Amino acid sequence: MLRPNAMKARLAAGGAVSGMWVQSGSPVAAEIAARAGFDVVLIDLEHGHGDLDRLVHMIRAVQTTSATAMVRVPGKDPFTIGRVLDAGAEAVLIPLVADAREAERVAAFCRYPPRGVRGYAWPVIRASGYGLHPDRFARANDEVLVAVQIETATAAAEAAAIAALGEVDLLFVGPMDLAGSLGHPGDPARPEVRELIRTVEEAVRDSGKPLGTIVRPDADAATLLARGYRFVMAASDVVLLAQGAAAVARELRRLCEDGSGR
């Protein structure tokens, strides 16, 4: 289903958007995230538990609302990216992009010629309403949002060149893997990691392209928005369930052990 890309429109107007990861592979979780009020539901096929078959149902669930259905693809090959877009993803997040050359190449997989090399199957894919809306083909290249992840020191050094690419719409800082590339996995609060992230922020700010990232212990949503980020991922269905269930279980265990639940 091709509809106006609300995420892309809001960013183009200078606004900011909020997002939630769905990593469980559950269409129910995707629908709940969308109905909760997030602007973007980011379905994670890189580290999440979904697959391409369930992806269609997850995208459908999100598209019962005004939220944008975004997918982090599990690979950088044209066939995987093409299948995700054919399923109806309105935005894609491409992980572990190495440099500007690779960013240009993967962005081309997301758009039809002459702007890219995406394979044509418009009459049979879900993104076109299975061919029942052929007039929308002309809008497909403009409606899709292509985001690339900056997750290594090499990619960070090329942030300005990546941001200068016309077919890349958004750069997304992956702080945990960026820290890992500097020898501090999972510790983005290290001074050298924070300094590298600042260089990416400055490069992208100068380009005028929007910048995204995740909320983390050393940078909450308010801090990130104040630093110029316009796409902030603030929650995960798996994390919310795990933390919520653990909190309830701890309280119940305490009550059971001290007998105060009698």
CA 200, 201, 207, 208 torsion: positive or negative?
A: positive
Q: Is 242 a domain residue? A: no
In degrees and rounded to multiples of 5, residue 102 shows phi and psi of -70, -35
Q: What is the CA radius of gyration of the chain?
A: 19
pLDDT of the residue at 232: 98
3-state secondary structure 164-208: CCCCCCEEEECHHHHHHHCCCCCCCCCHHHHHHHHHHHHHHHHHC
Alpha-carbon torsion angle 65, 16, 168, 75, nearest 10? -50
For residue 127, give its domain range: 6-236
The pLDDT tens digits for 153-185 are: 999 999 999 999 999 999 999 999 999 999 998
Contact 76, 106 (CB under 8 A): yes
User: Is 47 an annotated catalytic residue?
Assistant: yes
- Cα–Cα distance, 229 to 219 (Å, whole number): 11
Low-confidence residues of the chain: pLDDT under 50: none
Contact 10, 17 (CB under 8 A): yes
pLDDT of the residue at 99: 97
Q: Is 133 a domain residue? A: yes
Q: Is 145 a domain residue? A: yes
Residue 171 CB-density burial (10 A; 0-12 exposed, 13-18 middle, 19+ buried) = buried
Q: Is 136 a domain residue? A: yes
Query: How far is CA 202 from its chain centroid?
Result: 21
Q: Is 258 a domain residue? A: no
Q: Is 244 a domain residue? A: no
98: which 2 tokens? Answer: 């190495």
My answer on whether omega of the bond before 4 falls inside 30° of 0, hence cis, is no
Q: Is 202 a domain residue? A: yes
Query: How many structural domains are present in the chain?
Result: 1
List the CATH number of the domain containing 132: 3.20.20.60
Q: Is 141 a domain residue? A: yes
200: which 2 tokens? Answer: 């990416």
In degrees and rounded to multiples of 5, residue 99 shows phi and psi of -165, -175
Q: Which residue has the tokens 């501090």?
A: 184
Contact 5, 90 (CB under 8 A): yes
pLDDT of the residue at 1: 62
pLDDT of the residue at 2: 76
Query: How far is CA 130 from its chain centroid?
Result: 25
Q: 171: Cβ–Cβ under 8 A, 6 or more apart, which residues?
A: 147, 148, 150, 159, 162, 163, 200, 204, 209, 210, 211, 212
pLDDT of the residue at 133: 83
pLDDT of the residue at 136: 83
Which contacts of 135-138 are long-range, i.e. CB under 8 A and separated by 24 or more positions?
136/2, 137/112
pLDDT of the residue at 260: 59
Among residues 47, 49, 57, 184, the one annotated as catalytic is 47
